[in-house]
Amino acid sequence: MSVGTRPRGRRAATPASRPPAAPAYLSGAASVAVRPALEAPRRPARVLAAFPLALYLEIRSEAEPHVVAVVTGEATRLPNAVLLAERLDGVSAGDDAWVGEGSVEVGGVSIRVRRWWDPAPPLGPADPVRLAPALGLLGRARAASPRRPGLDPDGAPALLERGCRAGSLVESITAAERLIGLGPGLTPSGDDMLAGLLVALRHLGAAAGVPRAVWLADWLAAAVTYDARTRTTPISATLLHCAARGEASPEVTGVLRGVAGHQPLEPAVHRLLRLGHTSGADLAWGVQIGLSAVLAHREGQ
Partner 1 sequence: MTLSMLYGEPRVITVGAQVLGEALDRQAVPRREVDWRPPMAGSSAALARVLADPRRESANATAVGRMLSARPMLTAVRPAREVLGLRAGEFFHAGPPITWERASGPMRGALVGASLFEGLAATPEEAEERLASGAGITLDSCHHHRTVGPMAGVVSPSMWMLEVADAERGGTAYCSLNEGLGKVLRYGAYGPEVIERLRWMGEVLGPVLAAALERCGPLDLRALVAQALQMGDELHNRNRAATSLLVREIAPAVVEAAPDRAAEVLRFINGNDHFFLNAGMAAAKVSADAARGVPGSSLVVAMARNGTDFGIQVSGLGDRWFTGPAGVPDGLYLGGYGPDDANPDIGDSTITETTGLGGFAMAAAPAIVRFVGGEVSDAVAATTSMYEITMAEHPAYQIPGLGFRGTPAGIDVALVARTGLLPVVNTGIAGRIAGTGQVGAGLVSPPAEAFTAALDALADG
Partner 2 sequence: MNDPVNDLVEVRPGVYRDSVTLMRVSRSLTDRPGVTVAVVAMATELNLGLARDLGFAVPPATPGDLLVAVRAASPEELKAAAAELERQLAARAPASGARGEAAPPRTTRSAARAFEASLALVSVPGEHAFAEALDAVEAGLSVMIFSDNMPVEQEILLKDRARDKGVLVMGPDCGTAVVGGAGLGFANVLRPGPVGVVAASGTGAQQVTSLLDLAGVGVSHVLGVGGRDLSAEVGGRSAVRALRALDEDPATGLIVLVSKPPAPEVARAVRDLDPATPVVAALLGPGQDDLTTAAEKVLRALGRDVPEWPSWPAPANRADAADASAPRHAKPSGGERGGTAARGGAGGALRGLYAGGTLCAEAALVAGAGEFTDFGDDSYTRGRAHPMIDPALRLEALRGVASGVVLMDVVLGHGADPDPSSWLAPAIREAVARGVDVVVAVVGTDGDPQGLRAQAARLNEAGAAVFTSNAAAARHARLLAGP
Q: Which residues contribute to the site for partner 1 (CB under 8 A)?
A: 4-5, 7, 10, 13, 27-29, 77, 83-85, 114-115, 121, 250, 254, 257, 262-263
Asked if 124 touches partner 2 (CB under 8 A), the answer is yes
Q: Which helix (H) or strand (E) holds 201?
A: helix 189-207
107-115, 154-162, 217-225, 229-237 -> range binding partner 2 (CB under 8 A): 107-115
Q: Residues 16, 22, 143, 170: which binds partner 2 (CB under 8 A)?
A: 16
How many residues are given for the chain?
A: 301
* CB closer to partner 1 out of 92 and 263: 263
Contacts with partner 2: how many residues (CB under 8 A)?
A: 28
* CB closer to partner 1 out of 231 and 257: 257
Site string for partner 2, 241-270 (x = CB under 8 A): ---------------------x--------
Cα distances (angstroms) measured from residue 61 to each of 99, 231, 237: 10, 17, 13
Q: Cα(137)–Cα(143) distance, rounded to whole angstroms?
A: 10
Q: Least distance (Å) from partner 2 to the CB of residue 245?
A: 14
Choose the contact partner of 153 out of partner 1, partner 2, none; CB within 5 to 8 A by kind: none
Choose the contact partner of 85 out of partner 1, partner 2, none; CB within 5 to 8 A by kind: partner 1
Choose the contact partner of 254 out of partner 2, partner 1, none; CB within 5 to 8 A by kind: partner 1
Choose the contact partner of 16 out of partner 1, partner 2, none; CB within 5 to 8 A by kind: partner 2
Whether residue 122 has a cis bond before it, omega within 30° of 0: no
Asked if 22 touches partner 2 (CB under 8 A), the answer is no
Q: Least distance (Å) from partner 1 to the CB of residue 190?
A: 29
Q: What letter represents residue 280's amino acid? A: G
* 78-81, Cβ contacts within 8 angstroms, sequence gap of 24 or more: 78/31, 78/239, 78/242, 78/249, 79/31, 79/33, 79/119, 79/120, 79/239, 79/242, 79/243, 79/247, 79/248, 79/249, 80/31, 80/33, 80/34, 80/238, 80/239, 80/242, 81/30, 81/31, 81/34
Q: Around 60, how many Cα atoms within 13 Å sit in the side-chain half-sphere?
A: 8
Choose the contact partner of 84 out of partner 2, partner 1, none; CB within 5 to 8 A by kind: partner 1
**Residue 53 contacts residue 78 (beta carbons within 8 Å):** no
Q: Which residues bind partner 2 (CB under 8 A)?
A: 1-4, 10-13, 15-17, 27, 29, 32, 35, 112-118, 121-125, 262
